[in-house]
């Protein structure tokens, strides 16, 4: 078996040659072009992201040119997983879940369509395998395994690859977030206004896109990659950098696992393109584009879900809702997600401060409090989208429940604002004024809290 080494680094170039060079290393940053012509990205190795200080030599006229990061592909990790799937017992002992835990996990799966589903508890009960366990269950209950004649072992292998390529050290953008988005997507696919029109292909695309929409997220946002001249920003010309990376990485894993290899070539090409369209729709910078289009459709009453293009558009909207639905969860779970995403923001801000870079919006722990970040996010991003989603669903029980949780959670965060930032009578923060465009722009430019 051949092993390959790849040079992988993204450099920050400083004017002062005495400063160090920081490399941000991500998975799958080598592009592959498969038979279908859609560029994919090769999977990388553990650890998933590596913030390293590479001491610059004073004898070199260029910073970072003599020190590259070289790492093996994840053959050992992948080979270990494949051995388990083939039934080969490893030498090291396996720590299996107690039957009581498995029983509780199975009981939770029987209620997977409930909005109060606790993904954090489910992840603990499955020993950190919430994404794999959830997707196997949903593929089975939706009849996708039978319909597409999928091999169960191959499906499991693919889902393990996806789960492992999320960065567990990210407080927010990790496999638990992917599982949470997938469970939300499942709930949205069951909405009566949508469900009766969906084909098995629509359902599979929706679940796959939800599961893989943030795969290999580095824990920093697009502006960070751009200003540090990361090679992925150059590769995708500063446009939907992370979303393109998530999509191409997903294609790479689909091909590596050969999950869909038995399907006609034209069908796999279509699946790859539609997955890309869905994942790219999660770019927060395209929020107004999709919201304006949705409002126009609802105003004109011209959505025809019998049409594949309109149906695909509503799948995009459903995925966008699932991706940012945390403020619409019950307070206990919503609060935990909010703290996690802000912790990820603050880590980026600390990194930027350490390397004397401008601190990105929402990433300054000294100035950007969790309540203020969340209130802005809810006001300018979440509320407008979910109001239109409720309009589309005919104000279904689920959509009304989500809006109720959203209002309650927003009130909770307002009560936690520092005294000097408490809202005035019109509901706008005193220190900002009512609904400024600058605040909306700041929220949009950051990652979705």
Does any domain span residue 268?
yes
Q: Is 176 within any annotated ligand binding site? A: yes
Does any domain span residue 294?
yes
- Residue-level pLDDT at 446: 56
- Residue-level pLDDT at 66: 32
- Residue-level pLDDT at 258: 98
Query: What per-residue string of b and e applies to 241-263 under the rule 16 or more CB within 10 Å gives b?
Result: bbbbbbbbbbbbbbbbbebbeee
Q: If DSSP states are collapsed to H, E and C, what string results for 258-274?
A: CCCCCCCHHHHHHHHHH
- The H-assigned helical ranges of 91-151 are 99-109, 119-125, 130-141, 144-147
Range of the domain at 391: 96-416
End-to-end CA separation in angstroms for the chain: 43
Residue 54 DSSP SS3: strand
φ/ψ (deg, to 5) at 267: -70, -45
- Residue-level pLDDT at 98: 61
Q: Is 412 within any annotated ligand binding site? A: no
- Residue-level pLDDT at 449: 57
Does any domain span residue 427?
no
Spot the catalytic one: 156, 173, 217, 246.
173
Residue 52 DSSP SS3: strand
Active site includes 173? yes
Strands (E), 15-92: 21-25, 31-33, 39-41, 50-54, 70-72
CATH number where 208 lies: 1.10.1300.10
Query: Distance between CA atoms of 258 and 237, rounded to whole angstroms?
Result: 30
Give the residue ranges of the chain where pLDDT is below 70.
Answer: 1-39, 41-99, 420-449
* DSSP H helix total and E strand total for the chain: 20, 6
- Residue-level pLDDT at 430: 45
- Residue-level pLDDT at 418: 77
Q: Is 174 within any annotated ligand binding site? A: yes
Global pTM value: 0.80
Q: Which residues pair with 7 in a beta bridge?
A: 70
Cβ neighbours for 277, distance < 8 A, ≥ 6 positions apart: 312, 316
Does any domain span residue 282?
yes
Does any domain span residue 40?
no
The tally of domains found in the chain comes to 1
| Burial (Cβ within 10 Å: 0-12, 13-18, ≥19) of residue 412 | middle
Q: Is 244 within any annotated ligand binding site? A: no
Q: Which residues pair with 21 in a beta bridge?
A: 54
| Other beta carbons within 10 Å of 33 | 9
Does any domain span residue 434?
no
Q: Is 395 within any annotated ligand binding site? A: no
Does any domain span residue 428?
no
- Residue-level pLDDT at 102: 81
Q: How far is CA 206 from CA 108, 217, 232, 443, in A?
A: 22, 19, 26, 26
Q: Which residues pair with 11 in a beta bridge?
A: 23
Q: Report pLDDT digits (tens) over 42-68.
A: 554 323 333 432 233 333 333 333 333
Does any domain span residue 401?
yes
Cβ neighbours for 348, distance < 8 A, ≥ 6 positions apart: 219, 220, 221, 224, 360, 363
- Residue-level pLDDT at 353: 96
């Amino acid at each position: 078996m051949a092993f390959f080494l790849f040079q992988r680094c993204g450099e920050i170039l400083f004017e002062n040659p005495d400063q160090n060079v920081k490399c941000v290393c991500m998975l799958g940053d080598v592009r592959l072009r498969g038979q279908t012509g859609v560029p994919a990205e090769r999977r990388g190795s553990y650890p998933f992201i590596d913030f390293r200080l590479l001491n610059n030599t004073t004898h070199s006229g260029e910073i970072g040119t003599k020190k590259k990061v070289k790492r093996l592909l994840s053959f050992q990790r992948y080979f270990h997983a494949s051995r388990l799937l083939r039934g080969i017992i490893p030498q090291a002992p396996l720590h299996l879940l107690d039957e009581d835990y498995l029983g509780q996990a199975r009981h939770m799966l029987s209620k997977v369509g409930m909005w109060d589903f606790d993904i954090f508890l489910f992840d603990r009960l499955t020993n950190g395998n919430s994404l794999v366990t959830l997707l196997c269950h949903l593929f089975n209950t939706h009849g996708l395994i039978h319909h597409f004649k999928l091999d169960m072992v191959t499906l499991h292998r693919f889902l393990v690859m996806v789960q492992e390529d999320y960065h567990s050290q990210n407080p927010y953008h990790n496999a638990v977030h992917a599982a949470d988005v997938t469970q939300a997507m499942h709930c949205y696919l069951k909405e009566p206004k949508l469900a009766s029109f969906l084909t098995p292909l629509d359902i599979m695309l929706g679940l796959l896109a939800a599961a893989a929409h943030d795969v290999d997220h580095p824990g920093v946002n697009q502006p960070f990659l751009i200003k540090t001249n990361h090679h992925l920003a150059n590769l995708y010309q500063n446009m939907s950098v992370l979303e393109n990376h998530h999509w191409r990485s997903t294609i790479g894993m689909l091909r590596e696992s050969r999950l869909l290899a038995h399907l006609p070539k034209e069908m796999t090409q279509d699946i790859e393109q539609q997955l890309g369209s869905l994942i790219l729709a999660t770019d927060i910078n395209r929020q107004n584009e999709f919201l304006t289009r949705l409002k126009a459709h609802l105003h004109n009453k011209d959505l025809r879900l019998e049409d594949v293009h309109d149906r695909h558009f509503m799948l995009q909207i459903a995925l966008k809702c699932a991706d940012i639905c945390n403020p619409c969860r019950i307070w206990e779970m919503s609060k935990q997600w909010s703290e996690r995403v802000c912790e990820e923001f603050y880590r980026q801000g600390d990194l930027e401060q350490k390397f004397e870079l401008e601190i990105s919006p929402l990433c300054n722990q000294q100035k950007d409090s969790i309540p203020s970040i969340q209130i802005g996010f809810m006001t300018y991003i979440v509320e407008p989208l979910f109001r239109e989603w409720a309009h589309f669903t005919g104000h279904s029980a689920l959509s009304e429940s989500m809006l109720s949780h959203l209002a309650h959670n927003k009130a909770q965060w307002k009560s936690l604002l520092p005294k000097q930032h408490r809202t005035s009578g019109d509901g706008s923060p005193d220190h900002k004024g009512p609904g400024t465009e600058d605040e909306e722009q700041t929220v949009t430019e950051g990652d979705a809290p």
